[in-house]
Amino acid sequence: MRAPGRVNLLGDHTDYNDGFVLPMTIDRAVWWAVCANADDRVRLHSVNFDESIEYPLGAHPAVVRGGWSSYVTGVVEELRRRHGLNRGFDGVVYGDVPLGGGLSSSAALEVATTLALQPLLDAPLDPVSAIRLCQDVEHRYAGVRCGIMDQFASRLGRSGCALFLDCRSLAHVDIPLPLDEVSVVIVNSGVERSLASSAYNRRRAECDEAVAHFRRFDPALSALRDVTPQLLDQHGEGLPVRVRNRARHVVEENARVRAASELLSARRFEAFGRSMTESHASLRDLYEVSCEELDGLVDIALATEGVLGGRMTGAGFGGCAVFLTRKALAGELERRVNDDYPARFAVTPTVFVLAGNLEAGAVPDA
């Protein structure tokens, strides 16, 4: 069983505000081989870390929070408690989603674990319950109060498509993104997302502060998703500038995702690319989750022929940027980034031109 990582094309820091996102899966994933055993023990081995862990099912072990085993043992424990996982198993896991790069290696690991353990459960686990369980594991076992985007994209993203998701209703639409005319190019800045989880949780708290403020003027609203541009203009003044800026980013980013999804459906790639670049400016200036290196990557890319737009992707504070280019000129972006970025920042970038994108599920026979 496998589950892919994801890149988010548009809509960052909107998911936990009940807003809209537009991710797509990538061509890298996490794979499990699992078989039930007869002794009620859980034996796990990570090929990437060359680490093993073994414990009796039900005796949740103390592991490093945020380490690979915290995600896996968290999913195992929640499947046991909620879905009748009551047999031991031996499992080996391997992944090629870059770690800590903003491409959801942890969501891919969680989702792949639910899929691999499905045969050992009481009853089939529907995708949305699995997605919510994985999100919950991230909150409780890894300490990141993430939204639902990453797990949703990894579990339900379709090959050849981006996924437009309403994070409140969970209504979703697959938008075809055939990589024949344009390319999606992902660049890992090589900057570790240090302190990302505390900064992330702080952004969430700022959004909660903004919601509490706007609720004084409209008691019916329950998330920044419900704040209109008019309400923001009329009553935003009462907030500290920093919190007002966070709210403005979310309100405008939600509108941008909805409009840009239409552009993508209509294959209006140039206009879609411009929305990506606008999103970057908002994440940099209003939400303040970019960094010099990601800004530098966007500058380099925008000065390169064939690039239609681009932005940081995911939580930010390092990690990856994503670009849309004319297909014939994707190589040009790769060359420019490999030449100019190390010269400017003394860090080596990694460039992936997306050849296609995977779906979660059983691995087809070779």
Q: How far is the CB of 265 from ligand GLA (least distance, A)?
A: 22
Q: Put residue 143 in one of left, alpha, beta given phi > 0 → left and psi -120 to 50 → alpha.
A: left
Q: How far is the CB of 137 from ligand GLA (least distance, A)?
A: 12
Minimum gap (Å) between residue 105 Cβ and ligand GLA: 11
Identity of the residue, 89 or 141, whose beta carbon is nearer to ligand GLA in the bound complex: 141
Q: Is 194 exposed, middle or buried (0-12, 13-18, 19+ CB in 10 A)?
A: exposed
Please name which of 195, 198, 184, 204 lies closest in space to residue 313, comparing C-alpha atoms.
184
Closest alpha carbon to 301 in 320, 286, 282: 320
The Cα–Cα gap between 143 and 151 comes to: 16
Cα 184–Cα 191–Cα 224 angle in degrees, nearest 5: 70
For the CB of residue 228, give the shortest distance to ligand GLA in the complex, in Å: 21
Residues that bind ligand GLA (CB under 6 A): 12-13, 15-16, 146-147, 149-150, 314-315
Q: Which is nearer to ligand GLA, 16 or 269 (CB)?
A: 16
Least distance from ligand GLA to the Cβ atom of residue 297, Å: 18
Indicate if 12 belongs to the active site: no
Give the integer Cα–Cα distance in Å for 25 and 219.
37
Question: 146 or 232: whose CB is closer to ligand GLA?
Answer: 146
Residue of 12, 15, 18, 150 with catalytic role: 150
User: Around 78, how many Cα atoms within 13 Å sit in the side-chain half-sphere?
Assistant: 23
What is the rounded distance in angstroms from the CA atom of residue 168 to the CA atom of residue 258?
A: 14
| Residue number with CB closer to ligand GLA (253 or 340) | 253
DSSP state, residue 52: E
Q: Which is nearer to ligand GLA, 191 or 333 (CB)?
A: 191
Residues with catalytic roles: 150
